[in-house]
Structure 1
């Protein structure tokens, strides 16, 4: 076994509160049945978990709390104590505060200290970037070590339960139903653990030169703004480009690994929405691979999604299994993906 191998020992996730169905959203915002039907058909997401109380607008859960819970579950599943973590990397587009960094508040809750910590500001591909950074730092360390890698997002700043949705344009309205809140974590190591999945290869590449952003998120939130829209999506561009980019990512991963499509046992596709994910899976054409998805149940949870997928994948993998994960970020069009296998 290669001494520079980075292994994924375990993954864990955390979601706030119980599931919030489309019917509950429709009731809260006074929307008619046609709106709920639009969600079901156009978005394809059935429920989500929210850090905000849907009745009062009170923020009940922070990203640091969710991150710490996800990390505890991953560490417990990996059989690793917090004091044995050598570095922490976290990706998020929605930190609790600008400072202190949310990664350090997660470390505080875990009792982790005296180690390097890194926080990456990124959208949906941030989780893959965090895996990449964690793996590269482990390899560069020159001795066996363990990294805690996290991703998560909480959209409370942008979820105004008192807003009148009836006049919103589609590029703002879609965000009310598209996203959920959550956090995920994985434990990486260069320790020689024979039965752990190996992180073979990671893609993390900006491809946005000359392309208009597909998503813009301002520093102020929808729930506290008087300065115009805080969050908007060019959903038509996302519908057009994300499936194309997903196919390109898959091809690059297969070419790099020397795999054919029939070599892939599991597919972790982008988790944008239920409808969009179904379309991407069809375009990828990996008919023999088992899909690992969560978006229909918990919505688009941003940087938490790949870790939720890994949490479901890892216990299912046996020797010889191979998996491909794909993520696309529309903010400035980033391609990301990874290949995982068990020897």
Structure 2
């Protein structure tokens, strides 16, 4: 009959496993074989050291990973207890966003679907405040397998010192590249300046058909300031008649022959309402290009085009990060904005 430690010792000849991985997988194998049941206590760190000859650091790190994966828990330093027998590829993931947005919802859904129930995801928000993010990380660190963070550029400078206190090889930074953590964390960034410029430049032939190009004011640009900057560069370099402002009206009537770039917010809804009430034709009297991602509008028949955030590709890259066999391999990848055309101009 196998003893608990036999499940770990039999992995010694598996060259692809480090000692840390031998211990983690060995414990999982013992649980899968029902050698230990929920509520039962695992051997102490000292016992593990004595039986296996592993270092204290190796054993402690392995137990910490098992805690992060939600398989065991530590009870007031009395010992480690089994709390979950689902030892497949279970992951506990923390999604940390600046605020509640549609992009956050969609990324959660995509990631949840990709995990296929082999993980749990919890979502947190820091309200675009560095102090809240600092406290949030302090509260949740050590409780999850991976931490997926969207840290705004204006928050980065205030939080860098605090981030340096963590082992960030299980951090995945989204959207905004953080140079200080090159080679220290996974980074899935979007170069909004270059990517937005590239998409819009591809539309120059169509954009020149309109008397004016207007990027409508939006709170979204405070999160992605590169977009209005890229828009201004395009207007200047290509000699387009364009500006950042509000909907153009004369005597409360929409002015014709204008192309609007707008975030998916209340402004877009109001613009579409005016378009309908005044019986104007989209892409004949007025053009609209939505910036962001919104499946609600996307599935309607309004017919406007979109510059979309790459939600699905980002979720797929996150999955690569958390399932990569080489845990020390840190992924750094730039993603691009996507263009979806509505009715031809």
TM over 0.5: no
Q: Relative contact order (C-alpha < 8 Å, sep 6+): which is higher?
A: 1
TM-score by length of 2: 0.29
Larger radius of gyration: 2
